[in-house]
Amino acid sequence: MYMANEWPPRPDEKGPVAPPPPPEIGLRTMQSDIKSVQAGEVAPSSQPVTPPQFSDVMEKADSDSQMGGESVMAAPSSKKSAKTMMLVIGVMVIAGGLGVFGYYVIYPKISSVKPASESVSQQPQPSPVTRIPHASYFVKPTAGTDTASFSTLTDNAITGELLKQSVNSPGNDVAKEILLNDSNGSQIALSAFLSVLTGNKLDPSALNTLFDEDFTTYLYYDNNGVWPGYVVKLKEGISPEIAVAAIQALESADLSFFYLDPVGLTFQSFKSGSYKGSATRYAAGSQAGASFNYAAFGNYLLINTSFSGLKAGVALLGL
C-alpha cells in the first residue's frame, strides 16, 4: 500500500537500491577470550564487529554512486585564495613590465641592426672597367710597334712616355706605331687624350660625339728629329668640314706639349693650305722641320707635328 502523498513507482523506474550489508570483522579481545573460557570452548573465538567508520564510508560511497554525483573537494580557505590571487596578479604585473621593456628598449635596438647581406649590398661598388679595343688604321706596314703605358694621364706624362719610346729609332724617313695603354691595358680614349694635350681647349664630350675613341699614334723619323702624329677616325655621318671645324679650338692651345723637344719652340699664326685635294691648317715652328698640321682625308683626321710626318701618315692610310 502506498500513502496518499506517494505515487506508485512506474514500471520503467527503478527504486532506490539498498546498500550492501557491512562486512563482519572478527576481533579478539580479552573480554571475548574470558567468555570463551567460561563457556568451555576449546579455542577462543573472535567476536564479529562492524566498524562504524568503515560502515559510514561504505554507505557514503554507495549513496554518491547511486545518485550519480561526484565527490566534492572542500573549497580552499579564503586565506589560500587570497595568496593565489596575489601570486597571479604579481606574475601578470611582471609579464607586463617585461613586455613594455622589450617593446621600448630591446625592439628598437634589434630593428636598427640591418642584416649583413643588406649592409654589403649598400656598399659602393667599383665602377666596371670600360676597355677600348684597339686596331691600327694603317693599311700599310710601319717600321715597328712599341707600347707606352700610363698610370695617370697628364701632358708631361704623355711627352715623357713618347720621348722614351722615340729612343729606339727604326731609321730615317720611316714611322713606327705606338700603342697607348692605361693601367688596365686598355687603349687610351681619344677624348681624354686630346683634352689633356690641349689644356682642355677641346671638350671631351664633343670629341666623343664626332670621333671614335680608338685612334692610332705614330712617330715619324727624319734628319730633323722625331715627330709625333695621330690618326683619328670620323664617326659615320660626320663630314670632313665638320671634323676640322670642331678641333679648330686647338689653335689657341699651347702646341709645345705635342712636341718631344719643345724648349724654345715658337709658332707663327695658323694658315690654310692643301694636300692631295684636302684643305689643311698649319702653323710653322721656329725649329727646323717643326710645323703643326691638321687636316681631314676621307674618313680620317690627321694631326702631326711636321708636314713630312703628315704626308707619311696619309701614305700609311693608303690614301
Whole-prediction pTM: 0.61
In terms of Cα–Cα distance, which of 203, 185, 178 is closest to 260?
A: 178
Answer with the residue of higher pLDDT: 63 or 180: 180
Choose the most confident range, by mean pLDDT, from 33-47, 75-89, 111-125, 206-220: 206-220
CA distances from 249 to 100, 194, 281 (A): 73, 11, 12
Q: What's the pLDDT at 300? A: 98
pLDDT band (50, 70, 90) for residue 259: very high
* Average confidence (pLDDT) over 292-309: 97
pLDDT band (50, 70, 90) for residue 307: very high
CA distance 283 to 266: 10
pLDDT band (50, 70, 90) for residue 58: very low
DSSP-assigned letter for residue 267: B
Fill in the amino acid letter for 189. Answer: A
Q: What's the pLDDT at 64? A: 46
Summarize pLDDT for 60-101 with one digit per residue, the tens. 444 444 444 444 444 455 666 777 777 777 777 677 667 666
Summarize pLDDT for 122-167 with one digit per residue, the tens. 566 655 667 899 999 999 999 999 999 999 999 999 999 999 999 9
CA distance 84 to 88: 6
C-alpha 144: how far from its chain's center? 47
138, 216 Cβ separation under 8 angstroms? yes
Cβ burial 114-132 (10 Å sphere, 16+ → b, else e) = eeeeeeeeeeeeeeeeeee
| Average model confidence (pLDDT) across the chain | 81
pLDDT band (50, 70, 90) for residue 51: low
Q: What's the pLDDT at 92? A: 78
